[in-house]
Structure 1
Amino acid sequence: MHAMKNAFQTVALIGKYMNPEMREQILALARFLAERQIGIFIEEKTAEQSQIKGYTTVHINAIGAYADLAVVLGGDGTMLSVARSLVDYQIPLVGVNRGRFGFLTDITSESMCEAMSLILAGEYQTEQRILLSATVMRNGEPVHQGRALNDVVINKNGMARLIELEVHIDGQFVHRQRADGLILATPTGTTAYSLSAGGPILHPMLDAIALVPICPHTLSNRPIAISSHSKVEITVVQAPDVRMHLDGQMQFELQQGDRILVERAKKTVTLLHLLGHSHYDMLREKLNWG
């Protein structure tokens, strides 16, 4: 009788840095996987911060070459940075929630071993999430480029004055707005900062981008949703102190006259969920809907 083949042979474990409770969780999951003859890699910073020894460690950028599944233990912030690092490798991600909200990390730490055994048995569903690619053009030259799974945010830094932005979509002029800033959110990002700014919640399967003004001077300046295949160009018309944030984790100082080109990134991120996972159940739970 042959042992049943697992859906994944090698698994990388990535944990939230600087979190002392994380060590026991990672070790418990590593032991569980080892018992099932799964090859285990621990992301090197995770191993270092959690003082884990005895397992093969790999740099975050090398995980895609070694593992065929990555398990992310942490909150949505950890998942965002891991997703951006691994998107080019097309390696599926599973999220174990150790944060507060956990829109992306939907497996509880209490049920992680049980959930992993179902995933290894092939009992999971996949979901593709789009990213945005943002390029800053200055005097006709690209000066900065990055990707975001949640959102690209252009906002004022510390000054009380409003900033003025001009928006074109697919080469067509949309408006010139004076506001505290503008959020361009993927469907994933519509439950993050965009939601706080009054933006719509888009289902993750929608091929759309939400453009959400932050505290616009003209109250009729409303959020809009556009095709994710559109190309958006934002020009910084007037701004004494403005910057661009990607997923709230990376920032770049902008100057007057800069043009920010935002479009859908070529590759998507694959998230794995347990069978029966419902986006609406998750929204109801996280947002306390009745």
Structure 2
Amino acid sequence: MDTQFRKVALVGKYQSPDVEESVLAIARFLRERELTVWIEQGTASSISGVADFAVATHEQIGGEADLAVVVGGDGSMLNTARRLAEYGVPLVGVNLGRLGFLTDISRSDAQQRLGEILDGRYTEEPRVMLDAEVLRGGRSVFHTLALNDVVVNKGEIGRMIEFDLSIDDEFVYTQRSDGMIVSTPTGSTAYALSANGPILHPSVDGIALVPLCPHALTARPVTIPDSSRIDIVLLPPNDARVHFDGQARFDLRAGDRLRVTRSPHAVRLLHPYGYSYFAMLRQKLHWSAPPRHN
């Protein structure tokens, strides 16, 4: 069957024997289907035997590829999503990691499931991203995107930090805690879940604010519309740190303002036909599993 995907790029976790084997197997499979196959530059640098395939940068993939297949775990998908979000390239994940909330095709089924997607049997799901900016003295000093979450934490100090939280220019509260997680629905099953935040279905137009070990026990997670503008101002005397998807970070100084909004960019995830979000949660979180007996 003819396919709309003629140029397919492979992106994998670096320095991993499992990824090397899987990337090459998928590349050969795609070439057998007479598709143009590219291997991302950093991935190719850590794989032997890629001489038969073209190598491309993220920028080339974003500008010309019809599909990007991410081979690895959720971390690999987060990194790729952040790099390619502005281009709108659809992403498919082959899971070689642990949980695999975002990389939902198993290694053993990779070729079969990819073949189905190439034949047009798939569902597309947009995932919201966050736009994060750090303002210092009113001037922007850092800017990036996040698919999972933006996390303010106390960094290397051994005590709580204090900050003001405002939403759409309305003061909400001053909080003393270890920090705050600002999470998308995608990130609600990541760090935010471990901090007792809510699970948000990907179709929910919301952002979760999840305090980290707040001093006031009445400080609870709150879900707000994703049209909101969130401002977190770090109060003296302590500095802090902000993390973006656990992959990029920036050191905050007292007085810095972290501003988070919904990004105009969205990630396009392609799932195999029959994918179910609740079935995925049931499997990953072991819902309905029988109790263990010693």
TM-score range, shorter chain: over 0.9
Give the match's secondary structure for 1:238.
Answer: coil
Q: Which residue of 2 aligns with 1:28?
A: 25
Q: Which residue of 1 aligns with 2:267?
A: 269
Q: Tell me if the contact between 2:18 and 2:96 (Cα under 8 Å) persists in the aligned partners.
A: no
Deviation by residue 1:235-280 (Cα, 9 ceiling, x = unmatched): 1013523111000111100000001110000110000001211110
Q: Tell me if the contact between 1:162 and 1:239 (Cα under 8 Å) persists in the aligned partners.
A: no
Distance 2:239 2:166 in 1: 22
Indicate how the Cα distance of structure 1 residues 239 and 285 shifts in structure 2: closer, same or farther if over 3 A, else same.
farther
Work out which of the residue numbers 55, 58, 73 in structure 1 matches 2:56. 58
Give the residue type in structure 2 aligned to 1:39: T
Unpaired runs of at least 5, structure 2: 289-294
Distance 2:247 2:285 in 1: 23
Higher mean displacement: 239-248 or 265-274: 239-248
Q: Which residue of 1 aligns with 2:292?
A: none
Q: Which residue of 2 aligns with 1:87?
A: 85
Give the superposition deviation at 1:164: 0.4
Give the superposition deviation at 1:161: 1.4
Deviation by residue 1:90-136 (Cα, 9 ceiling, x = unmatched): 00000000101100000001000000110011000000000101111
Deviation by residue 1:25-60 (Cα, 9 ceiling, x = unmatched): 111111111111111000011111012221100012
TM-score (norm 1): 0.97
Q: Tell me if the contact between 1:94 and 1:273 (Cα under 8 Å) persists in the aligned partners.
A: yes
Q: Which residue of 2 aligns with 1:159?
A: 157
1:50-129 residue pairs with structure 2 within 5 A? 50-51=47-48, 52-129=50-127
Give the residue type in structure 2 aligned to 1:20: P
Work out which of the residue numbers 12, 22, 43 in structure 1 matches 2:9. 12
Give the match's secondary structure for 1:105.
Answer: coil
Give the residue type in structure 2 aligned to 1:247: D
Indicate how the Cα distance of structure 1 residues 155 and 239 shifts in structure 2: closer, same or farther if over 3 A, else same.
farther
Q: Which residue of 1 aligns with 2:278?
A: 280
Q: Tell me if the contact between 1:156 and 1:162 (Cα under 8 Å) persists in the aligned partners.
A: yes
Q: How many residues align?
A: 287
Q: Tell me if the contact between 1:7 and 1:119 (Cα under 8 Å) persists in the aligned partners.
A: no
Unpaired runs of at least 5, structure 1: none
Q: Which residue of 2 aligns with 1:193?
A: 191
Give the residue type in structure 2 aligned to 1:142: S
Give the superposition deviation at 1:150: 0.3
Percent pairwise identity: 49
Give the match's secondary structure for 1:146.
Answer: strand
Distance 1:251 1:5 in 2: 43
Distance 2:59 2:241 in 1: 27
Q: Tell me if the contact between 1:16 and 1:73 (Cα under 8 Å) persists in the aligned partners.
A: yes
Q: Which residue of 2 aligns with 1:42?
A: 39
Distance 2:284 2:31 in 1: 33
Q: Tell me if the contact between 2:5 and 2:67 (Cα under 8 Å) persists in the aligned partners.
A: yes
TM-score (norm 2): 0.96
Q: CA RMSD in A?
A: 0.8
Give the residue type in structure 1 aligned to 2:14: Y
Give the residue type in structure 2 aligned to 1:256: A
Distance 1:95 1:47 in 2: 18
Give the match's secondary structure for 2:92.
Answer: strand
Q: Which residue of 2 aligns with 1:138?
A: 136
Give the match's secondary structure for 2:5.
Answer: coil
Work out which of the residue numbers 166, 169, 178 in structure 2 matches 1:168. 166
